[in-house]
Amino acid sequence: EAQVTQNPRYLITVTGKKLTVTCSQNMNHEYMSWYRQDPGLGLRQIYYSMNVEVTDKGDVPEGYKVSRKEKRNFPLILESPSPNQTSLYFCASSWGTSGETQYFGPGTRLLVL
Amino acid sequence: AQRVTQPEKLLSVFKGAPVELKCNYSYSGSPELFWYVQYSRQRLQLLLRHISRESIKGFTADLNKGETSFHLKKPFAQEEDSAMYYCALPGGRGANSKLTFGKGITLSVRP
C-alpha cells in the first residue's frame, strides 16, 4: 500500500532531550517536507527536500534539523526541544515539487514539558 | 512573498445550505492552488486542485486572478463535509518550492 508513515505517533519528552521523528514513504517521491499544525496558525512548513541531499528551510525552521540521506526517509530532528515546539507534526511527500499533490503522514503529536 | 489568506476560522451551516470557504492569495506569477481537507482524526488529503477543474464530493473552486481568489463552494452541504479545510499555494519549481498553507477553516454542518 502506498503511504507515508511517521514514528512515533505520540511523544512526551522534557526540555533539552534530543529526539527524532522518522518519516518514510514508499512511493519513490522526490519531494518531502515537514509541517507543524497549531491551533489558530494552521499548517506551517518547517523544512522541505527536493531530493537526496537537497534540503531547504520552510517558514519556521528554527530549532529543527533534517537530513535526506535516502530518498524514502526524511527524519525531523529536535536537538534541544523546548515547550514552544509542542505541536502536531506532519510529514508529506509528492512527485517532483510542492506543485504536485501532497501525501501526508498520520501525524506525530509531541508534548515538550 | 507568497501568501494565502483564509479570512474566517469557522463556518457553521445547516445541512442542505450552500457553502463558500474563502481563500485569497498573493503570488507573483501564475499560481497553482489546492484545497486540502482534514476530517476528524484523519490525515490531510487533497480535495481538489484548480488545474484539474473537477468537482470532488460536490465541491468546486474557480481561480479568479482578478480578485486573486480561489474560493471553495458547494451548493448543498452534507454532515460528512464537517472538517478542517486548507487552501495551499506552491512556490513553483526549482529552488523556490515552498508550500504555503492558509490558517484553515473549520466547517461544521449541523443536521
Is the per-residue pLDDT at B29 higher than 80?
Answer: no
Q: What is the mean pLDDT of chain B?
A: 90
Is the per-residue pLDDT at B102 higher than 60?
Answer: yes
Residue B95: which pLDDT band, with cuts at 50, 70 and 90? low
Lowest model confidence (mean pLDDT) among A39-53, B56-70, B82-96: B82-96
Q: How far is A108 from chain B (nearest CA, A)?
A: 11
Is the per-residue pLDDT at B96 higher than 70?
Answer: no
Report how far residue A104's alpha carbon sits from residue B111's, in angstroms, rounded to the nearest whole number.
30
CB contact under 8 A, B99 and A45: yes
**What is the percent of chain B with per-residue pLDDT over 70, rounded to a whole number?**
95
Give which of A44, A55, A103 is closest to B3, Cα–Cα. Answer: A44
Q: Which parts of chain A register pLDDT below 50?
A: none
Report how far residue A59's alpha carbon sits from residue B9's, in angstroms, rounded to the nearest whole number.
21
CA distances from A8 to A85, A88, A103, A110, B7 (A): 16, 12, 18, 9, 34
Is the per-residue pLDDT at B92 higher than 80?
Answer: no
DSSP letter for each residue of A40-63: TTEEEEEEEEEETTEEEE-S--TT
Q: Can you read off the three cell numbers belonging to residue A59? A: 517558514
Amino acid at A54: V
Q: What is the pLDDT of residue B30?
A: 77
Query: Pick from B43, B49, B104: which is nearest to A42 by CB?
Result: B104
CB contact under 8 A, B103 and A50: no
Q: How far is A98 from chain B (nearest CA, A)?
A: 5
Size of interface A-B (CB pairs under 8 A): 67
Q: What is the pLDDT of residue B93?
A: 58
In this structure, chain B runs to a length of 111
Report how far residue A57's alpha carbon sits from residue B81's, in angstroms, rounded to the nearest whole number.
34
pLDDT (tens digit per residue) in A60-87: 999 999 999 999 999 999 999 999 999 9
